[in-house]
Amino acid sequence: MSEALIGAGLCAGAFWVASEAANHYVILYGRHGWAPPEVAFLLNFVLLGLPCAALLTTALARWWGPRLAADFGRLAAVPPRTAHAAAGLAALIVGVLVVLARYGLLRNTAITDDENVYDFMARMWAGGHLSVPSPPPEVRAFFENQFVVNDGRWYGIYAPGHPALLALGQWLGAIHWVTTVEAVLTVLLAWRLADRVFGRRAGLLTLGL
């Protein structure tokens, strides 16, 4: 086990050194194709990250494997009421973490192009429009984005499901809570599907994931 842990540590250390040399794999946006830092990250991950994960998994399996197998067997005997309580607790924890991250870390601000485009689509749909006229040609370039079409008509490229829910949230005055509700329901749905299809053990393990 110690040899596997040492090997995993060496791979992780080499990966960290490589990231320092590659300026932490800074991604250059606004250019077509993979930038050199992205290629370096992928190559280093294949050469160092995967062996690190394999060695660490081997060490943990030798150290914790028998006990984990016994615990896994006992999960099948967990009463339904306890399983339901665990699912509710997991969903609550996820909801709280999402809210803390949104307000405490991100200050309730969209930080990616994807979020801004989803918000744009939701507000547009909530106003009863699937698209709107593009800005005047003189200023249109300032509103270009790789995730929107801006060729006389202005609209996002994403599938309609999530924007439709955001539009509903906009109508209700609670657009910023839609993703929190989605996260909570995703936990409950994943647990229920795993429990129904694969059994109690799979459902409880899904909550851990």
153 φ, ψ (degrees, to nearest 5): -115, 150
In 31-173, DSSP assigns E strands to 132-133, 148-150, 153-156
Q: What is the pLDDT of residue 182?
A: 96
Type of residue numbered 130: L
Query: CA–CA distance from 81 to each of 77, 92, 129, 135 (Å)?
Result: 12, 16, 46, 56
Q: What is the pLDDT of residue 1?
A: 64
Cα of first residue to Cα of last residue in the chain, in angstroms, is: 25
- Per-residue pLDDT reduced to its tens digit, 88-144: 999 999 999 999 999 998 888 888 889 999 999 999 999 999 999 999 988 988 888
Q: Read off the tokens for 165.
A: 């829910």
**H-helix segments, 22-75:** 36-44, 50-74
Q: What is the pLDDT of residue 167?
A: 95
Which regions of the chain are under pLDDT 50? Answer: none
Say what the pTM is. 0.70
